[in-house]
Amino acid sequence: MGRAALYLRVSTGRQAENDLSIPDQRRQLQSYCQAKGFTVAAEFIEPGASATDDRRPEFQKMMDAAAEKPAMFDAIIVHSFSRFFRDQFQLEFYVRRLAKNGVRLVSITQDLGDDPMSVMMRQIMALFDEYQSKENAKHTLRAMRENARQGFWNGSRPPFGYRTVAAEQRGLRVKKRIEPDPMQVETVRLMFRLARIGAEDGPMGSRQIADYLNVRGIRTQTGGRWGVGAVHQILTRETYIGRHRFNVSGKRRGERKSEDEIVDVEVEPIIDPDEFAEVQETMRSRSPQLKAPRFVAAGTLLGGVCYCADCGGAMTLRTSGKGGQYRYYTCCTTARREDRLQRPNDPNGRAG
């Protein structure tokens, strides 16, 4: 029959423990190839990846191999079409892309031909798989929201400064909560103190705090160096005042859920609410979006704050004396007028 590539995928650890485990898929696919006369040329194993999109490293590696001329194999063998894709449109797109280079997609549990009836049956199966995937996701999210309402943690990595602990046993499942991590909690408090008071020269911004931590060898949860984004996320996260928000954003980048979909989870606070509010106000006052760029980095204390009582124009800092020895504020409108009067006129009578 030709050369075959085996594609094996599970989307969750729970599936890996049941009948869709990687070893079981491999055994079934190898038996099918032996019975049909296929020679196994390659294996692509995707543990813990959803089939609702193509953001899968092994999947992309397999498609690149299938696009070579000539292709490394004549067929891709899967347990079911849902192992390949759970999106009907994407499934058909990639089936046609494979066919252009002479590669077939074969499901050992849904063995179909290439005639119009078989194509229609594959499309109907794919539609059912897509529907089932969306229904499963909906029910899973509903269960996770209820779990969060009860104050339990849903399994992702907790924010820096917290750790997961077993709360209660329900059958075979252990329900977990989060609590302050003694190994990290003081670092969180240090970051808020630096943002509010600073070390020597007043309150620090996110970049200064990141540098401060990195120089002293204080690392992130994963042992990496601190970046501006990570510091800013901690300083603005309400979890640290005892209010963790679950289901805030969707899969699409920048997509924010409505308030009735978001669940507030009560957790033990690390930072006092008044201190948190003071840090937010300090960060807003430093934000470049609230001030003109010249006032964010400049050393003009009253820039953008002090205005002329006569004309309402902004006040600007001027210098005088030898080497700019003296500094003073003056109305920028008056200053421009004085500058024009001091310049020599050009031959046409205009101010130079």
Across the beta sheet with 2-10, what order do the strands follow? 38-47, 2-10, 75-78, 104-107
Smallest CA-to-CA distance from 264 within 247, 250, 244, 249 is with 244
User: Final residue of a domain: which of 231, 257, 286?
Assistant: 286
Q: Please report whether residue 141 resides in a domain.
A: no
Instruction: Answer whether residue 253 shows pLDDT above 70.
Output: no
Q: Which tens digit of pLDDT belongs to each residue from 22-50? A: 888 899 999 999 999 999 999 999 886 67
Which of 135, 168, 198 represents a domain boundary (last residue)? 135
Nearest to 208 by CA among 227, 224, 222: 227
Q: Does residue 287 carry a catalytic annotation? A: no
128 and 85 share one domain = yes
Residue 185 counted as domain residue = no
What single-letter amino acid sits at 135? E
Long-range (24+ apart) CB contacts under 8 A made by 96-99 are: 97/63, 97/67, 98/63, 98/66
- Evaluate whether residue 118 is within a structural domain: yes
Are 130 and 17 contained in the same domain?
A: yes
Structural domain including 99 reads 2-135
83 and 195 assigned to the same domain:
no
Give yes or no: residues 96 and 8 share one domain.
Answer: yes
Same domain flag for 301 and 273: no
Distance CA 250, CA 261 (A): 11
Residues 198 and 112 in one domain: no
- Are residues 258 and 332 located together in one domain of the fold? no
Domain C-terminal end among 286, 304, 326 = 286
Q: How does pLDDT run across 190-220, given as a tens digit for each residue?
A: 999 999 998 877 889 999 999 999 999 999 9
Question: How far is the C-alpha of 135 from the C-alpha of 140, rounded, in Å?
Answer: 8
pTM attached to this predicted model: 0.53
Residues 6 and 130 in one domain: yes
